[in-house]
Amino acid sequence: MMTGLSEFFQYNLWANLRLLDACAELSDAQLDATMPGTFGSVRETLMHLFSSEEGYTYSFTKTRPTSPLKEVSTFVGFAELRRRAEASGTMLIQAVEQRDLSETFYLDGGTYECQAYIVALQAINHGIDHRSQIATILSQQGIELPDLDAWGYNDSLRANA
Res 59 pLDDT > 50: yes
C-alpha dist (Å) from residue 2 to 5, 6, 15, 116, 135 = 10, 11, 22, 21, 32
Amino acid code (one letter) for 73? S
Measure the CA–CA gap between 106 and 31, rounded to whole angstroms. Answer: 36
Global pTM value: 0.94
Segment 134-159, tens digit of pLDDT: 999 999 999 999 999 999 999 999 99
Measure the CA–CA gap between 68 and 152, rounded to whole angstroms. Answer: 31
Across the chain, mean pLDDT equals 94
Average pLDDT over residues 99-127: 95
- Is 1.20.120.450 the CATH classification of the domain at 5-159? yes
Res 2 pLDDT > 60: no
- Residue 1's pLDDT band, with cuts at 50, 70 and 90, is very low
Measure the CA–CA gap between 131 and 60, rounded to whole angstroms. Answer: 23
84 appears as a binding residue in the annotation: no
Segment 6-38, tens digit of pLDDT: 999 999 999 999 999 999 999 999 999 999 999
Q: Tell me what pLDDT residue 140 has.
A: 94
CA atoms within 13 A on the CB side of 70: 9
Handedness of CA 86, 91, 97, 100 (dihedral sign): negative
The three state secondary structure string of 93-146 is: HHHHHHCCCCCEEEECCCCEEEEHHHHHHHHHHHHHHHHHHHHHHHHCCCCCCC
130 appears as a binding residue in the annotation: yes
CA atoms within 13 A on the CB side of 30: 17
Q: Tell me what pLDDT residue 3 has.
A: 62
126 appears as a binding residue in the annotation: yes
